[in-house]
Structure 1
Amino acid sequence: MLSPLFGGCRGGLALALLGISVAEPLRSTKGVCTDATFAPLTLPNANIVSLDSVIAHTAWPASSDLINAFPSTKNGTVEVCQVTIKYKHRGQNDTINTWVWLPVTSWNGRFVGMGGSGWVTGTASSLAQPVFDGYSAASTDGGHSASASLQSWALDSNGDLNWKLLEDFSSVAVDEAASLGKAATRLFYGSLPKYSYWNGCSTGGRQGHMLAQEFPTQYDGILAGSPAINWDEFIPAQYWPPLMMQELNYYPPPCELEAITDLAISTCDELDGVKDGIVALPGLCQFDPSTVIGKEVNCADTNSIIKLSEKSAQFAAAVWSGANNSDGSSLWYGLTHDAPLTGLGGIDCSSSGKCKPTPFFLATDWMTTILSRDPSRDLSTIGLQDFRRLFHTSLKKFGSIIGTRNPDLTKFRDAGGKMITWHGMKDQYAFYNGTIDYYDRVRDFDARVHDYYRFFSAPGVEHCGGGPGWFPGNGFDALVDWVEKGKAPDTLFAHTIPAAAESASTPIRKANLCPYPKVLTYVKGNINKSSSFICR
């Protein structure tokens, strides 16, 4: 029988099912930011090591366009009760810090969990904006600090994988942060949040999908941008560009790769009906880089003119096609034609004039520390056969722990949850087509997916932001309206964000992003106005 403490609230039910218990707060401690107020917090199979609570004045500048940001236009300071909960799982060599921040006088009755990025499970600083906008909020370090190297926590003293800490990072700590955050909210305000939300991009987007898949009653609404789902596949696939450089024995200068990308954009730009420097229909882009071999390019960084080489064309074609098996069958998707090739295809020519690839750090960490269990392994010794073997090892050993690609979201659906995902089509790190792949599989599993999970493509947007395209900075507002008012988003409002180096007179372009599989298509009129585009 559920304790009357939780009543019929969805959040309370989740706490009760997980064994989280808090005593009825005494009137004298309600709203008081002291360790005694939060002393009743417990976790199943864990020991609370310490609790630290302090009143602080948290500042937040006006912003609507940051990773994990809320659509706030306010700035200033707010008085916050900041709680740090340190705990250990029994029988496991881990220590996890969870941060819960509680606005003292302006709580809006809602709770939000904030996601991380890369190997960072979460940070305390990410809680500043949500508490400023009236939310109680929580995040967790997942058992390791944001600055810690992967090998310092993913491998034990014997050099073996620390599976428990990998699980903490992947899922366990994020779920527990939600439970602790809602329980602490109950102790401080005397009631559980009426609605609970998740907000994250990249790793935070993966965490959001993991919560919907594995912990479907934790959150009423999930905003999951540029999600790093299919982790066991797309992270090793990030090493494909450096590997192609090694196989070709050619390390193209950045200006050569940028020129090829610009030519691809120019060729495929008007597929959506307008030439505006944005490729809105990448699936129809058939640009062949071999057709521009020999074209002269002015490299501003070296003040020289070079000709596009055959090997640079081969490299671009291989990156766009994606990693493959020896028989040519696909291992994973490639980048879209407009995504910067220099993101995963960086080079370093500083050593005695000899160039070498500089793989993206997640790919390097995964290939060496996780798959090889040798952080010092020289990746230049990995050939195609080694890469393919490691890729399949990744799927076999890590799909269940961190793959985050289970298409069965019916428990999330049945619990009344709502999820919005968006992904920049120009993403240079997390393959855009991987999110399409996942959404298609969810739709194949459940034809009702549109009732509770909607995916929006953002043309011209890079990883979690950046690029010339339309960024959906108000996605969280749309999520709240869907959860609390039943107003499902048929489109997602977005606008461009001119780079700092651009002229102050650069116009802000607006558009209403389309739910997949519809695509944003120009009809007529001013290209800066959303009314000039339709979803087709």
Structure 2
Amino acid sequence: MNPMQGRRLAAGLGLAATVLLAACGSNDDDRAALACDSSLATAFQPDAQTSVVAVKAFSKGDALLLSGSASANTPTAAADVCMVKLNVGPGNPGPAGAPSTSAGIGIEVWLPAKAAWNNRIHALGGGGWQGGPAGSATAIASTAAAAVAGVEGAVSSVTDTGHAVTGTGAFAMNPDGSINQTLWTDFATRAIHEQAVKTKALAAAYYGRPARWAYWEGGSTGGRQGLNLALNHPEHYDGMVANYPAIHWTRFITSELYPQIVYQRDLGGTPLSKAQVDLVSNAAISACDTVGGTHLGYLIDPAACRYNPVQDAAVLCAADGGSNTTTACVSRLQAQALNKIWYGMTSDGSVPDPATDNGWQQVIASTLMGNGLQRWTGLTRGTNLGLLAGAQTEFTIASDLVALELEDPTLAGTSFLNAKANGQAGWKQLSYAQLNNAYERGLALQSQFANINTDNPDLSAYRNRGGKILTWHGLADELIAPQGTINYYHRVAAAMGGMANAQSFFRLYLVPGQGHGTPNGTSNPNAIIPAVAASQMYGLLTDWVEKGTAPDQVLLSTTTSAGTTRSMPVCVYPKKITYQGGDVGVGASYGCS
């Protein structure tokens, strides 16, 4: 590296990179400035809060383990890669072992061999409350990131968002029951910022040159993280794949507890069985899935479905005037409970007739949903309701959040631990009004929650720096109703000066039948759904950023184990899939209009 290249690199990466380059020296033949061994721990010191936790080189075929013995199922390195684990302080002090005690933000970075590097960073997001072993010296956090480095040849990274706790939001509550603002901030915004900064700095130091392109990819929490970065740190990434994003965090997650509250308040605490829920959900599909005279098995446009089980004799029990004599039949009261779940959370537990309002009326608007009687939308008709309205238990992320909003740990499930009191499933006693109060508290606490809702539609800074965003959301998402993403996109369009301006840098695709990253999110296990392939959107994004090729309609295809193939295009929103004639299972039979 010549002196001019060094000055340009330092200018691009800031003071920390300048210190690194000065420490590492120039390198005319562009060999790696850092080695993948213990020397990296002292050579890489970008700032006083960052320390190297572990460094390990893996050769192609090595078991991806830091401790213990490999088994036949242990993933192996696809190529020679270097793993570096970092800790970024200050963390959060507290009693040893308390969920709210943290050493700092853990970041796990995977670097391909120098000759294999494609000059890209391809960082990955997380899911749920995230957490995990990204900062642990004894466990690997992400074999997916290892695969990105080994197969794709990009530098990849993940973060624990500031806590090692998994499966619970207890880290966000102090031992006295108050909100832990430090770890909320790490979780909501700071960790992903540090992930970007440290990944770029490490790549520049390791290879002796900065990355040419930087991308983010994630779904659910990872989708929210991508949009949060676009809002707050538009400089970090050239492109974002932000799928089924968990934006409107407190709004939609509080509402995820609503189905179980309906069971408690309307059905005496007795949930519907899986057979009952599936019977009615499949009846909704059958009522609304006909295309070209054929039942498709899933819904192309759930917004148009107004199926009402209260008026369907085929699902109602004989005692309620129906014709269904199986054990899966439902009473009118149970059928109305499902109408409530599909409509979504209301402040008082009411629900209109689906013929008048099926829950979609406020979705396609340039104003933020959830500020009236309907606080949030429910899952679409025909979606598998097992995760939110199943017979087993509540969705614990929702009960954890309600406990945090009301600063009462006893409201959470029993996995929620706190010095003041542990979770005792107190949510079961909540009235509709009390759940609505939790919803309001979630909005009032946004400053303490580091504005985790990520619902600001002004993406002009990201647009102006030339960034691109691709998002897809399954129309049968089992956890995050797609209506929230649709509403956000309309508000982005309004803030950007119109739909065409939004589409110039941000494109949304709605995928019929697909779930929360799952190929089939419906209640119909026999549905053959053309689904988004694992790397499909990322490939479209890199072409858009690097070649200027903006994606248009995208053909999706799925082949079953029996060899049956189904295909269908998905459209750049707000265009819709339109049947034009022919075999309903073939993509050529459809267009976008």
TM range (shorter): 0.7 to 0.9
Partner residue in 1 for 2:549 = 487
- Match of residue 583 from structure 2: 526
| Displacement after TM superposition at 1:17 (Å) | 8.5
Of 382, 386, 391 in structure 2, the residue corresponding to residue 342 of structure 1 is 386
Q: How does 1:89-108 map to 2 (within 5 A)?
A: 89=90, 94-104=103-113, 105-108=115-118
Partners of 1:285 and 1:52 in 2: CA distance = 54
Structure 2 CA distance, aligned partners of 1:95 and 1:365? 22
Q: By how many angstroms is 1:293 displaced?
A: 4.6
Q: Residues 21 and 430 (structure 1 numbering): CA distance in 2 closer, same or farther, change over 3 Å? A: farther
1:127 maps to which of 105, 125, 145: 145
CA apart distance, 1:304: 5.9
Q: How does 1:494-509 map to 2 (within 5 A)?
A: 494-496=556-558, 498=560, 504-509=561-566
Q: Residue in 1 aligned with 2:476?
A: 426
- Note the alpha carbon deviations across 1:451-489, whole angstroms, 9 max, x for none: 000000000001112214322221110001000000000
Give the conservation status (yes or no) of the 8 Å contact 1:33–1:53. Answer: yes
With structure 1 as the length reference, what TM-score do the two structures score? 0.86
Quick one: which of 352, 360, 363 aligns to 2:398? Answer: 363
Q: Deviations over 1:202-225 (max 9, x none)?
A: 111111111111111100010011
Equivalent of 1:214 in 218, 221, 232: 232
For 2:49, the equivalent position in structure 1 comes to: 47
Deviation, structure 1 residue 87:
2.5
Identity over aligned residues, as a percent? 28
Q: CA deviation at 1:7?
A: 6.3
Q: In 2 relative to 1, CA 175–497 (structure 1 residues): closer, same or farther, beyond 3 Å?
A: farther
Q: For residue 317 of structure 1, what is the amino acid of its counterpart? A: N
User: 5+ residue gaps in structure 2?
Assistant: 64-75, 94-101, 135-140, 318-324, 351-372, 413-422, 521-527
The code of the aligned residue for 2:408 comes to: R
Describe the SS at the equivalent of 1:78: coil
Q: How does 1:406-485 map to 2 (within 5 A)?
A: 406-446=456-496, 447=498, 448-467=501-520, 468-473=528-533, 474-485=536-547
Q: In structure 2, what residue type is equivalent to 1:414?
A: N
Q: Output the CA distance in 2 between the equivalents of 1:199 and 1:310.
A: 44
Please state whether the residue corresponding to 2:59 is helix, strand or coil.
Answer: strand
Q: Secondary structure at the match of 2:245?
A: coil
Structure 1 residues 363 and 267: CA distance shift in structure 2, 3 A? same
Cα distance in 2 for residues equivalent to 1:340 and 1:143: 33
Q: Give the deviation of 1:533 after TM superposition.
A: 1.0
Q: Displacement of 1:198 after TM fit?
A: 0.5
Change (3 A) 1:274 1:21: farther
The answer on 1:145 being equivalent to 2:164 is: yes
Q: Deviation digits for residues 70-98 of structure 1, max 9, x if unmatched?
A: xxxxx972111111112212887642211
Corresponding residue number in structure 1 for 2:121: 111
The aligned counterpart of 2:83 is 82
Q: 1:38 to 1:106 in 2, by over 3 A?
A: farther
Corresponding residue SS for 2:183: helix
CA shift, 1:395, in A, is: 1.2
Is the partner of 1:222 in helix, strand or coil?
strand
Structure 1 unaligned blocks of 5 or more: 62-74, 298-302, 349-357, 499-503
Alpha-carbon distance in structure 1 between the residues aligned to 2:164 and 2:477: 27
The aligned counterpart of 2:244 is 226
With 399-408 and 329-338 compared, the bigger mean Cα shift is at 399-408
Q: Is 2:430 the counterpart of 1:382?
A: yes
- Opposite residue 471 of structure 1, the aligned amino acid is A
After superposing the two structures, state which structure 1 stretch, 418-427 or 180-189, moved more.
Answer: 180-189
- In 2, the alpha carbon distance for the partners of 1:511 and 1:397 equals 43
Question: Are the equivalent residues in 1 in contact too, given 2:280–2:315 (CA < 8 A)?
Answer: no
Please state whether the residue corresponding to 1:343 is helix, strand or coil.
helix
Larger displacement relative to structure 2 (421-430 or 507-516): 507-516
Distance 2:273 2:552 in 1: 43
Query: What amino acid does structure 2 have at the position aligned with 1:210?
Result: N
Moved more, 125-134 or 239-248: 125-134
Please, which of 311, 324, 327 is the counterpart of residue 346 of structure 2? 324
The amino acid across from 1:267 in the alignment is A
Task: Give the superposition deviation at 1:342.
Answer: 2.0
How far is 1:32 from its partner? 2.1
* Cα contact 2:279–2:328 (8 A) shared by 1: no
Moved more, 285-294 or 126-135: 285-294
Q: Distance in 1 between matches of 2:18 and 2:341?
A: 47
After superposition, the C-alpha distances for 1:87-134 in whole angstroms (9 at most, x for unaligned) are: 212887642211111011411111111010111157433312211210
Q: For residue 33 of structure 1, what is the aligned residue in structure 2? A: 36
Q: Write the distance in 2 (CA, Å) between the matches of 1:418 and 1:463.
A: 23
Cα distance, 1:232 vs structure 2: 1.5
2:439 aligned with 1:391: yes
More strand by share: 1
Residue type at the aligned position of 1:478: L
Given that residues 239 and 344 in structure 1 are in contact (C-alpha distance below 8 angstroms), is that contact kept between their aligned partners in structure 2?
Answer: yes
Give the structure 2 partner of residue 193 of structure 1: 211
Say if 1:91 and 1:128 are closer, same or farther in 2 by CA, change over 3 A: closer
Shift of 1:30: 2.4
Q: Look up the match of 1:285.
A: 305
